Amino acid sequence: MRLPVEVLNADGTSPYVLVCEHASNWIPAEYEGLGLPKAELSRHIAWDIGAAVMAQRLSERLDAPLVLAGASRLLIDLNRPLGSPGSIPVRSEATDIPGNLDLDPAERARREDRWFHPFQTAVTGLLDQRAGHKTVVLGIHSFTPVYLGQTRPWQAGVLYRRSEAFGAWLVDRLGGEAAGMAHNQPYQIEEDSDYTVPVHGEARGLDAVLIEVRQDLIGTEATARNWGDRLAAALLD
């Protein structure tokens, strides 16, 4: 049985706390792949390709704590508010998710208790330990080069809302728009489609952003680690 959440380097000295909500595409055998073939579960709909390796390298370089999801976002998305359309999706991109159709309240509650709450409790615990100290929350993600037929040209994006100064600083540190870095792309943070930034960051008065890197740039362990090094160089003073 896999753990619902893994915390690495919990005592790291960095002001950065790393959160990787889509680290895994694992689905317990009892769910029979949610009715999807294995090929679908290797796609972005099931996880953020390359994000976990990139986040682990970044954690090593920064000496930062890292919270990793233990199961697929298709079971329940850890960066979506409970009850929102994206929390337990019945459709992801252009793919229907048969195993998520017509769920009864008991199954929804089971998934919340099994995966969502343990993950959020782990993040909350790390942030509570750092109360009174400078802390910045970084969600580590990846995005598809093409989404529903639309090409996404950016190498990476920094998504922010209230943390305008920090977000703009990080885009500049990564080389700016001339280097393929984007502000608030490939999407914008919203209350009904995001959890980490609004709840773990903004509600605490902390700087919080999501870092999104294009998946074809981190599709191997080596390239994902290289991007971890690149992010670390930008974040270290």
Q: What is the pLDDT of residues 108-122, one digit of tens each?
A: 999 999 999 999 999
SS3 category, 106: helix
* Residue-level pLDDT at 237: 72
Strand partners, 66: 8, 18
Contact call for residues 110 and 79 (beta carbons, < 8 A):
no
Contact call for residues 17 and 126 (beta carbons, < 8 A):
yes
The share of the chain scoring above pLDDT 70, in percent, equals 100
Q: What is the pLDDT of residues 4-47, one digit of tens each?
A: 999 999 999 999 999 999 999 999 999 999 999 999 999 999 99
- Rounded Cα distance between 58 and 138, Å, is 11
Mean pLDDT (whole number) for 43-56: 97
Q: What is the pLDDT of residues 127-166, one digit of tens each?
A: 999 999 999 999 999 999 999 889 999 999 999 999 999 9
Q: What is the pLDDT of residues 175-208, one digit of tens each?
A: 999 999 999 999 999 998 999 999 999 999 999 9
Q: Which residues contact 107 (CB under 8 A, 6 or more apart)?
A: none
Q: Which domains does the chain have, with CATH numbers?
A: 5-235 (3.40.630.40)
What pTM was computed for the model? 0.97
Residue 161 exposure: Cα atoms within 13 Å on the Cβ side: 18
Residue 1 pLDDT grade (very low, low, confident, very high; cuts 50, 70, 90): low
Q: Are strands 91-92 and 136-143 parallel, antiparallel or unpaired?
A: unpaired
Q: What is the pLDDT of residues 213-222, one digit of tens each?
A: 999 999 999 9
Q: At what angle do helices 221-235 and 164-173 cross, to 10 degrees?
A: 120
